[in-house]
Chain A
Amino acid sequence: MTAATNARTLNLNARKLRSLLTGLAFISPAIIGFLAFAAWPIVQSLYYSFTDYNVLQPPIFIGLENYRDLLNDRVYGIALRNTLYMVFIGLPIHLIFDFLMALLLATQIRGLSIYRTIFYLPSITPVVAATIVWLWLFNGQYGILNVFLEWLGLQRIGWLTDPRFTKPSLIFMGLWFGGNTILIYLAGLRDVPVSLLEAAELDGANALRKTWHVTLPMMSPVIFYTIIINVIGYFQYFTEAWVLTATRDGSAGGPLNSMLFYAMYLYQSAFQLFKMGYASAQAWILFAIVLLATAVLFRTSGWVYYRSEE
């Protein structure tokens, strides 16, 4: 190796090093943020989950006791089941509904921007304010929904008081907040190449077949993205149910705990009872469930069709 090439590689390495340092300098807030607000807390909460810790006294190591207690905690079981209900029943209903709404909006009707505004608006209203409005709509005696049912000649429903109806009521209310997903789908639908749809039409495909064989595959990455984001979101379902059910003394969950969700029970354990270890064990089980769910979703994502970029 001559001195000249040696100097050149050295020069190259120096430049590489410089760009590495520059890059790291720019992303340094992310590095600090990642370590301080993600990596360290994850590890620390794993440690807390093996302890008895009430914040005032130092944590005492108790091994797997929190996890064992959770297995026998009936209320925890209810909260977990209610949450799974929302993930497996509420979420598909919401996404299918949002997709159908987007399909309708994509038929190029006149006044699209007005409809778009109307469907999107609820999803940016403050959750607490909007949920209080729904509390009024759901009111058993004076709520407009029951008045409407009676007017139709149907029976009143205990929207928030009958344990059989509480979760369906939440799902029903959730439709109102779906504007964000509707707009994501609408944007995706506009990206479906018209040439493909026309080709299918020339081959004699009707609207249903075009949707099934062209639109859906082309939309699959967007659908996959909304499934992932919403699964994670529903496992953390909190504010709506909390606002609807929390009383002044801090109890929450509605009749027979039918609206007690995972994040609510965790919040109560940690910030009302100050059982930090117990709550951390719940947090880690949630973490494991969410990781598992995303892993399963990615593993079974063979149906997702990625168009190669040109």
Chain B
Amino acid sequence: MRASKPLMPPAFSLQSLGLHSRRRQSALMKGFAYVVCTLMAVAYVFPLYWMITTALKTDVEVFLVPPSLFPKDPQWGNFIASTQYIPFWLYMYNTLVICALTILGTVISCSLIAYGFARVKWPGRNLVFLIYLSTIMLPAQVTMIPLYIVFRQLGWVGTIWPLVVPAFFGNALYVFLLRQFMMTIPNELSDAARIDGAGELGIFWRIIVPLIKPALATVALFTFVATYRDFLGPLISLTEQNQWTISLGLKMFQNMYGAQWQLMMAAATLTMIPTVILFFLTQRTFIEGIALTGIKG
């Protein structure tokens, strides 16, 4: 049977032969997608697999040719050793403090701003929103230098404030996301509260915020991941070594002990763990959030 050739490009094969062949065509297509997706998935997982297995090798086994696919005698101690070459836990703590404050600032400011754009009708708000939205496209390089100079004059270089304070003044992308969400809430809810004598802040706090909690969770998650991954911001602002984030620490680790691959892979693994755990706990929020930011763009 010719049709059983599994990898025949489905698009060119059985066209316009009626319903029966079309069903076979889609079965072929599915099989093809299945094979390719699985191969790609293996390729995508491999770097992480290689990171973890390298982290468990001895400093001799790391350089074995050909390399062993699985560590012969797993060196769990590498994980402990890797946290002693650099003040790993201090850097992790610093990172999490910055993340927490940034999330706090972003969630508060963005939800208030989004309310002003979505739930209060005022002349010119669409134009102002459009201008505000355009800041998404502003490259950080354009504002980086004047801001550094001001932060320096304020004595903030060498502290976490240059990284944290701007978060309290909104982020256009997240405002956009929250505004989309708020606009789906029926106006009758706010009107009813207004008749009952509630002020705008009361409506915001008691009616809107409870309804947009899923969107706020998305914003908090995205902010966490972006802040945790950030490198350039801390590189410019955190001049004191004891304030470094984990990303800065890892880069220094690599510069100083670059040949100790098993230790670097162990440190990299430990660094990835928080985001990976968080992702598995909150997968749905992530995935829905991406759809929200992408679709209506």
Contact = CB atoms under 8 A, between A and B. Distances in A.
Chain A partners chain B: yes
A133 B268 contact: yes
Contact of A128 (B139, B247, B295): B247
A16 B235 CA distance: 47
Interface in A263-278: 263, 266-267, 270-271, 276
Contact of A126 (B16, B41, B168, B275): B275
Interface of B: 10-12, 15-16, 22, 25, 29-30, 33-34, 36-37, 40-41, 44-45, 47-48, 50-51, 54, 62-63, 65-67, 109, 112-113, 115-117, 120-123, 125, 128, 131-132, 135, 137-149, 152, 166, 168-170, 172, 175, 200, 204, 225, 228-229, 231-232, 235-236, 246-248, 250-251, 254-256, 261, 264-265, 267-269, 271-272, 275-276, 279-280, 283, 286-287, 290-291, 293-295, 297
A24 B122 contact: yes
B141 A236 contact: yes
Closest A-B pairs by Cβ, 6 of them: A26-B116, A33-B169, A225-B297, A184-B294, A187-B291, A23-B122
A236 B29 contact: no
A126 B50 contact: no
B297 A221 contact: yes
A128 B131 CA distance: 33
B120 A26 contact: yes
Contact of A118 (B11, B45, B228, B229): B45
A51 B145 CA distance: 13
Contact of B268 (A25, A34, A132, A180): A132
A176 B293 contact: no
B125 A41 contact: no
Contacts, number: 292
Contacts of B11: 206-208
B113 A222 contact: no
In terms of DSSP, what is the predominant structure of the interface of chain A? helix
A283 B137 contact: no
B85 to A, nearest CB: 13
A16 B264 contact: no
Interface string A19-46: 1101111110110111011101110110
A105 B142 CA distance: 38
A149 interface: no
